[in-house]
Structure 1
Amino acid sequence: MVVLFLIVYPTVPVSAAEVFFGADSTTVSVDDELTVDVFLNTEDEDINAVAGRILISEIFWQLKEIKDGDSIINFWAERPQFVRGEISFSGVIPGGYSGQKGLIFSAVFRARQAGESIMAIQNAQALLNDGQGTETKTTPYNLQLIISEPALSPAVTGEIATASPPSVKEQDKTMPEEFVPTVAVDTDMFDGQYFLVFAAQDKESGIDHYEIQENRRQKIKIKQWVNGVSPYLLTDQKLSSYVYVKAVDKSGNSRITMLSPQNPRSEYRNYLIFGILIIIGFMLAAFSRRKKL
């Protein structure tokens, strides 16, 4: 079967950012899977934040998974998630993005029943990378899809059934890529308290979630992991703890990154000074004995 890759582009160019869909095909059969990409066209603007909602009819489509491993978004304020027929998303691109086809995220659906459906984009917003977060005009473009009745089964046609190829989740054995969390403070966030910013990439199955742990000692405790999202308000506002961030992909692979304390606890400094004094004491005692001999 020949599959054409179709991208739904606007027919009339306008001077505004655009959020639009891309799909392997606009015609599928019941029980087929379809990957739908959501793209950003900045129209020569420099964009550093984008948000919106994707409306999907649950009568026609069942969501299988959402992938954001190749997204232009570095920090998610609201990671794409499917709730009651819609996918909401909101994210930031530090340094900005300018391009015609920046991938925001991809979603894999299974067609449930025959008919015509439209995936619609609502409340699309884009902010300029101008230091002020100025909102620019954003034009959404919807995607019309046709679902046909399934073809006759192999038992009727005489075709030989073949095993389905393994999914991306089954194939992914690679941990997420290396990433560097950052401690930040902003008077407009968390009442000026310290928070953690992080974003990992996983090019295969995509990031599923993050777990965070704050410890006074350089030791990971299995039962102290807590789920968290970026930005994450730090419990230890004195910044005297080790902070561990675990990125887990949708196949269960994980990578852990550690941040050392910015302000080590005084008790450890006291231990170090005490140890140095003991060593100096032993050295003076040994020197004194030699001198008497």
Structure 2
Amino acid sequence: MNAAFVQPSWAHLAFAGMLCVLFLLLGVPAYAAQFSIEIPKDAVAPESEFVADVWLNTQGESLNALEGRLLFPDALEVAGIRDGGSVVTVWLDAPMSRGPGSISFSGITPGGYNAERGFLFSVVFRAKEEGVAALSFEHMQVFLNDGNATPAPVSEISAKLVISEEAPSSLSDVSDTTPPEPFSLALAESPVAFDGKKVLIFAAQDKGFGVARYEVCEGFFASCVVADSPYVLQQQSTDSFITVHAVDHSGNVRTAYLFTVRALMRYASYGILAILLCIGALLLLARFKRSYRK
């Protein structure tokens, strides 16, 4: 017996089409993060400056780490980078131009970050020659705040502008005269880290161009060294006056101090000894003058 052939109706075809669409939509994961570049104008003149802002849209996901590179052509040069106010609270590799045509960066946000518009950093570019300048991303990665650092897919929105003599010439108002925010110093010690040595912990925030470097000084008269936190103390007794300078990219400085009571007493004894020596020298000088007059 031959099976009867049933001609499919339009309703059946429409239902099958809906199933295919649902399968495709559910089978393709939504982007967990979207990186974008925003510039305030479409054209600039040679020797002009403009600011390019880099933003992150987490697309509803909680993210706690990211890394990547921002690419730019030879027609542009970096005049400055600022990360003040970034959603990245700890930079493992602060945004910096380490080679021609690229700015690499990586950082973390402990506790995670979830928002549609999160500022990462800004780049001040200077246009060098006429042409079309395209800004794009490369090797972008984000990681979910799920305890496993699970990689998540990303999308990217690039930008471009025209460099032309016909465009108005301008310089970006990117001056920064405000020092980094006040910060504190702390000592830490663990038998399982840094060979059990005492380390100095510090971190400063800057709302302008961001912190460029830290300078650590152990003692009143010791020379300072450029260092990062955590910093292994050279004087493990911690019997010293510790100073840390946070210097931003514009050269503004904020200083923090840390000293123990023992260190304060030691430096106070030095001061008292210096005063006594001065008094003794004055008394000897006065006695010598009296003897000379006789």
TM-score (norm 2): 0.68
Greater Rg, structure 1 or structure 2?
Answer: 2
Q: CA RMSD in A?
A: 3.2
Q: What residue is the counterpart of 2:108 in the other structure?
A: 92
2:125 matches 1:116: no
How far did residue 234 of structure 1 move? 3.9
The CA distance in 2 between the partners of 1:25 and 1:19, in whole Å, is 19
User: Which residues of structure 1 form unaligned runs of 5+?
Assistant: 1-12, 154-163, 272-293
Q: Are the counterparts in 1 of residues 83 and 208 from structure 2 also a CA contact under 8 Å?
A: no
Q: Deviations over 1:78-127 (max 9, x none)?
A: 11111222111111222221111211110001111121222121111222
Q: What residue is the counterpart of 1:208 in the other structure?
A: 212
Matches within 5 A, 1:1-293: 14-57=30-73, 59-84=74-99, 85-150=101-166, 167-169=173-175, 172-183=176-187, 195-215=199-219, 220-221=220-221, 223-236=222-235, 241-260=240-259
User: What's the secondary structure of 2:180's corresponding residue?
Assistant: coil
**Aligned residue identity for 1:177:** E
How far did residue 166 of structure 1 move? 8.9
Q: Deviations over 1:194-216 (max 9, x none)?
A: 5444332222343232111234x
User: What's the secondary structure of 1:175's corresponding residue?
Assistant: coil
The CA distance in 1 between the partners of 2:180 and 2:168, in whole Å, is 41
Q: What residue is the counterpart of 1:284 in the other structure?
A: none
The CA distance in 2 between the partners of 1:250 and 1:93, in whole Å, is 22
The CA distance in 1 between the partners of 2:127 and 2:171, in whole Å, is 18
Structure 1 residues 97 and 28: alpha-carbon distance in aligned structure 2, compared to 1, 3 A threshold: same
How far did residue 260 of structure 1 move? 4.1
Higher percent of residues as helix: 2
The CA distance in 1 between the partners of 2:34 and 2:149, in whole Å, is 17
Q: Deviations over 1:127-159 (max 9, x none)?
A: 222333332223333222222234599xxxxxx
Report which stretch shifted further, 105-114 or 23-32. Answer: 23-32
**Aligned residue identity for 2:90:** F
Q: Are the counterparts in 2 of residues 75 and 230 from structure 1 also a CA contact under 8 Å?
A: no
User: What's the secondary structure of 1:224's corresponding residue?
Assistant: coil
The CA distance in 2 between the partners of 1:20 and 1:152, in whole Å, is 25
Structure 1 residues 134 and 65: alpha-carbon distance in aligned structure 2, compared to 1, 3 A threshold: same
Q: Are the counterparts in 2 of residues 31 and 150 from structure 1 also a CA contact under 8 Å?
A: no
The CA distance in 2 between the partners of 1:93 and 1:184, in whole Å, is 22
Q: Deviations over 1:43-70 (max 9, x none)?
A: 122222221111111x210111001112
Q: Deviations over 1:164-217 (max 9, x none)?
A: 889543xx44322112344557899757765444332222343232111234xx
**Aligned residue identity for 2:243:** Y
The CA distance in 2 between the partners of 1:117 and 1:63, in whole Å, is 13
User: What's the secondary structure of 1:256's corresponding residue?
Assistant: strand
User: What's the secondary structure of 2:64's corresponding residue?
Assistant: strand
Q: What residue is the counterpart of 2:282 in the other structure?
A: none
TM-score (norm 1): 0.68
User: Which residues of structure 2 form unaligned runs of 5+?
Assistant: 1-28, 270-294
| Paired-residue identity, % | 38
Equivalent residue pairs, number: 237
How far did residue 30 of structure 1 move? 1.9
User: What's the secondary structure of 1:149's corresponding residue?
Assistant: coil
User: What's the secondary structure of 1:131's corresponding residue?
Assistant: coil
